[in-house]
Amino acid sequence: MPTSATEYRATEITIIVVLIALLPLLPPLLHLWTGSDSAWYTPYLVWFGIILLSFGLQRHLRRRASR
């Protein structure tokens, strides 16, 4: 259980980022970027975006925790 408002806010941000990261992995959207007519590197770009989003979240949360 989060004990302070800062921890609660960090939990909310994490949940939102996880949901945003899962959007491209939903079956209808997964079909779009894994189709035979898409470029070979498209799945790598999607995962790279998810990794960048996670990195940005961790950086933001560390900055807020140090205040």
**What stretches of the chain adopt beta strand conformation (E)?**
none
pLDDT digit string (tens) for the chain, length 67 residues: 556 666 667 778 788 888 888 888 888 777 877 788 888 888 888 889 888 988 888 888 788 777 7
Indicate the number of domains in the chain. 1
Q: Which residues form the domain of 42? A: 5-65
Q: Residue 56 and residue 62: Cα distance in Å, rounded? A: 10
pTM above the 0.75 mark? no
* 3-class state of residue 38 by DSSP: coil
Say if residues 57 and 13 touch (Cβ distance below 8 Å).
yes
